[in-house]
A = this chain, B = another copy of it.
Amino acid sequence: MASIKDVAARAGVSVATVSRVLNSHPSVSPEARARVLAAVDALGYRPNAVARSLRTDQTRTLGLVISDVLNPYFTELARSVEEEARALGYSVIIGNADERPELQDHHVRTLLDRRIDGLLVSPTDGGSPLMLDAARAGTPMVFVDRWIPGVDVPVVRADGRSAIRDLVAHLYGLGHRRLAIIAGPAATTTGSERVEAFRDALREHRLALPEAYIGHGDFQADSGRRSTEAFLALPEPPEVVFAADNLMALGALDAIRAHGLRVPHDIGLAAFDDIPWFVHTDPPITAIAQPTKELGRAAVRALVDRIEGRPPQSVTLPARLVVRSSCGEHAPTRRSNP
Interface residues, chain A, with chain B CB atoms under 8 Å away: 1, 44, 46-51, 53-54, 59, 69-70, 72, 75-76, 78-79, 82, 86, 91, 93-94, 96, 106, 109-110, 112-115, 133, 137, 221, 250, 253-254, 257, 276-277, 279-283
Query: Of all chain B residues, which has the CB nearest A53?
Result: B50
Chain B residues with Cβ below 8 Å from A257 are 279-280
Known: A79-B69, A277-B250, A283-B282. A50 touches B46 (CB 8 A): no
Known: A254-B280, A280-B281. 14 other contacts (CB 8 A): A46-B112, A47-B113, A48-B113, A49-B113, A49-B115, A50-B50, A51-B54, A69-B75, A69-B79, A70-B75, A70-B76, A75-B75, A86-B106, A257-B280
Between A and B, 25 residue pairs with Cβ closer than 8 Å are A1-B137, A46-B109, A47-B113, A48-B113, A48-B115, A50-B53, A50-B59, A54-B54, A69-B78, A69-B79, A72-B72, A82-B96, A86-B106, A91-B110, A91-B114, A93-B93, A250-B280, A253-B280, A254-B279, A254-B280, A257-B280, A277-B277, A277-B281, A280-B281, A282-B283
Chain B residues with Cβ below 8 Å from A53 are 50
